[in-house]
């Protein structure tokens, strides 16, 4: 997933530098909109893809399937975007002054996107006889990460505005 995220970061960076300069306040505006949307105060839906990685791709074998799945999820825009915070990462990719400022944000996104999958896989090993616990745990992780995002988005908005 981190590789897919870094590739997406490079593409967004190139697109951002092909356009007239946007300025970092754009990132602040997107962060403010994402925070208001996430809390329900702004009744807007960000665009997102409904496409999912086809199960038939499992015929490729576990290595190829896992690599493809990770790259696609890491890119962030090819499947459903579960986090309004990802739009802030995209905005930063378009408006940041240089690659050195962009790649850490996309790498962090890729690692954060991979973390639940890794945690659930490790959890499956721990709860073999109680698989329902894995789903309870994944829901708890999702709620906790959403709460963290709600705290960070206004801080990002205030920083860049």
pLDDT the model gives residue 120: 67
Other residues' Cβ atoms within 10 Å of the Cβ of residue 102: 22
pLDDT the model gives residue 26: 94
User: Taking the domains of the chain in order of start, what are their residue ranges?
Assistant: 2-160
pLDDT the model gives residue 14: 93
| pLDDT tens by residue, 80-119 | 776 888 889 999 999 998 999 999 998 888 888 777 777 7
Q: What angle separates helix 25-39 from helix 85-95, to the nearest 10 degrees?
A: 170
Distance CA 84, CA 37 (A): 8
Tens-of-pLDDT digits for all 161 residues of the chain? 778 888 888 999 999 999 898 888 999 999 999 999 888 898 888 777 777 777 787 777 766 776 777 676 666 676 777 688 888 999 999 999 899 999 999 888 888 877 777 776 676 666 666 656 666 776 777 777 788 888 889 999 999 98
pLDDT the model gives residue 92: 93
pTM assigned to the model: 0.77
pLDDT the model gives residue 75: 67
CA angle 148, 150, 155 (to 5 degrees): 95
CB 8 within 8 A of CB 106: yes
Q: Give the contacts of 101 (CB within 8 A, at least 6 positions apart).
A: 92
Phi then psi for residue 18, to 5 deg, are -85, -15
């Amino acid at each position: 997933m981190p590789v897919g995220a870094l590739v997406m970061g490079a593409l967004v960076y190139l697109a951002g530098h092909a356009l007239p300069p946007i300025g970092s306040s754009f990132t602040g505006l997107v962060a403010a909109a994402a925070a208001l949307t996430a809390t329900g105060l702004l009744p807007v839906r960000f665009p997102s893809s409904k496409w999912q990685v086809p199960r038939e791709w499992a015929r490729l074998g576990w290595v190829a399937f896992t690599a493809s799945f990770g790259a696609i999820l890491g890119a962030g825009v090819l499947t459903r975007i579960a986090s309004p915070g990802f739009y802030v990462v995209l905005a930063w990719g378009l408006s940041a002054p240089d690659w050195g400022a962009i790649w850490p944000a996309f790498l962090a996104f890729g690692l954060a996107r991979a973390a639940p999958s890794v945690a659930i896989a490790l959890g499956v090993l721990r709860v073999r006889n109680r698989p329902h616990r894995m789903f309870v745990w994944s829901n708890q992780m999702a709620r906790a990460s959403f709460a963290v995002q709600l705290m960070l988005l206004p801080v990002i908005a205030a920083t860049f505005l």
